[in-house]
Structure 1
């Protein structure tokens, strides 16, 4: 018997874990039929695409990010540039965590590489960009990939042990709704020297040459208990062929000529970890 198609594999995976989902239109529970239709009790329906993802967007949207950008992002992440970050993030995920949601997952490489060292975990990635999710589904199997908006997400409350939010906008009310009791949010935000070699060239002698995440950190702390913060910083050599890929994947690089010389790059990030406790959370 040959290998099943991406769509068939996604249908089986979503059928097995259909209880994670609720209709983004009416919030009713959802089932998955043999034909790949994801239906709620009020007959709202979404289709698992042949590429192996499902589009839960209620209203059409256009993305500022291209397929080429996500391909470049995949190449950069799989080069190992962010391996130290992913390794540190993984240590905050306990062995009894069963469900992980990556919000703003892009093309899915962070989620793929983090889950490679975890056992028996159901991994779900969501992004508003169809181009990002199409790329994720193209390369990474055994995960549920969803096009969707966190402001109107297709998930039941208290469905996830872990929510990842890596260099992406947050929706803390939705995170709180989706987390199981004592679940964790692991958020990654830039620190002052993140990609400083690009920032210095793109914004020389302007206020954007420097960056502070203080307000972002304080807002995170307002929403979650048992707060932890770990800074990870290192400088890596950058192979010449990776330079245009890095410039394409980060908005900082959009201000620069792709022909510039960039021999090294600094990764400087804060990992924020918070638990959701329904008894004492600030709303």
Structure 2
């Protein structure tokens, strides 16, 4: 199975190798074999057996672990917790005009374990690219979803040449707007999703009853976005869903909130959480 995934990934990457550049020296990349690419300066990168390429240029040790990514995968595949968001994003992408003779290239910047990108691009002719600094997430993504291209990489040193991507998704994840502007096509679209005050409020109240968990102010986020992109539309999206017994453990562990909760607080969530609020804002922009 792993050989099949690596070969399939190599075939996908080979078709679009011209879109990449070396994150070390910024020169063009070439495919040397089914499991190996390198740039014209001979910096080389291997395809892992799961099918992803690690483009990290520095050591990174994060707190995002397999438990978090597994919880997120479970909640996304076993519930409709983000279905309204996925539908909204897919509608925007469908309305985005491009040369119909060429596939739409969509990057999920901060792809995690890959399910959102898979659900957004499934049954479409789009080419999905997923990048995340967390190796655990990308390894899980590439092990499961073989219709997309997966990279471990730093958004500050992404492996894309200038002006290659039609759409950049940045969903509940840190941004690098200067880099987004560099790798987007001149008429490219950016869709950024940010949490609002009521996002997961039931979970926060049970896990952190004495702490006001920080969410960046809306104006601060909007100012940063507008400094780099033309804001076309800002769309609020709020809804509440019932929480089933199957969902509860995944909801607890799908975000870093659980890192700060005591065993007593986690037990309280398992016993008491009956609904969850999704409160988001979708910022849609164009490159300046």
What TM-score, normalized to structure 1?
Answer: 0.92
* Aligned CA distance change for structure 1 residues 36 and 205 (closer, same or farther; 3 Å): closer
Report the CA distance between 1:122 and its aligned residue: 1.1
Q: Following the alignment from structure 2 to structure 1, what is the Cα–Cα distance between the partners of residues 40 and 215?
A: 51
Q: Following the alignment from structure 2 to structure 1, what is the Cα–Cα distance between the partners of residues 106 and 46?
A: 22
* Aligned CA distance change for structure 1 residues 252 and 20 (closer, same or farther; 3 Å): same
- Does the CA-based 8 Å contact 2:196-2:215 persist in structure 1? no
Aligned structure 1 segments of 4 or more residues deviating by more than 4 angstroms: none
Q: Following the alignment from structure 1 to structure 2, what is the Cα–Cα distance between the partners of residues 183 and 61?
A: 30
Q: Following the alignment from structure 1 to structure 2, what is the Cα–Cα distance between the partners of residues 208 and 68?
A: 22
* Aligned CA distance change for structure 1 residues 241 and 225 (closer, same or farther; 3 Å): same
2:276 is aligned with 1:265: yes
Q: Which ranges of structure 2 fall in alignment gaps of 5 or more residues?
A: none
Cα deviation per residue 1:29-73 (whole Å; 9 max; x = unaligned)? Answer: 101133321110011100011111010011221121111211110
**Which residues of 2 match residues 1-283 of structure 1 at below 5 A?**
5-78=4-77, 79-93=79-93, 94=96, 96=98, 98-117=104-123, 119-208=124-213, 212-256=217-261, 257-259=265-267, 260=269, 261-276=272-287, 281=288
- Does the CA-based 8 Å contact 1:15-1:33 persist in structure 2? no
Task: Identify which range, 225-234 or 48-57, moves more after superposition.
Answer: 225-234
* Aligned CA distance change for structure 1 residues 209 and 28 (closer, same or farther; 3 Å): closer
Q: Following the alignment from structure 1 to structure 2, what is the Cα–Cα distance between the partners of residues 7 and 21?
A: 18
Higher helix share: 2
Q: Following the alignment from structure 1 to structure 2, what is the Cα–Cα distance between the partners of residues 167 and 17?
A: 27
Report the CA distance between 1:255 and its aligned residue: 2.8
Task: Identify which range, 219-228 or 69-78, moves more after superposition.
Answer: 219-228
Report the CA distance between 1:203 and its aligned residue: 3.5
Task: Identify which range, 22-31 or 195-204, moves more after superposition.
Answer: 195-204
What TM-score, normalized to structure 2?
Answer: 0.90
What RMSD, in angstroms, separates the aligned Cα atoms of the two structures? 1.9
- Does the CA-based 8 Å contact 2:2-2:49 persist in structure 1? no
Q: Following the alignment from structure 1 to structure 2, what is the Cα–Cα distance between the partners of residues 254 and 140?
A: 28
Task: Identify which range, 224-233 or 170-179, moves more after superposition.
Answer: 224-233
- Does the CA-based 8 Å contact 1:192-1:213 persist in structure 2? no
Secondary structure in 2 matching 1:258: helix
- Does the CA-based 8 Å contact 2:11-2:34 persist in structure 1? no
Q: Which ranges of structure 1 fall in alignment gaps of 5 or more residues?
A: none
Matched positions, count = 275
Secondary structure in 1 matching 2:62: coil
Secondary structure in 1 matching 2:41: coil
Q: Following the alignment from structure 1 to structure 2, what is the Cα–Cα distance between the partners of residues 250 and 217?
A: 23
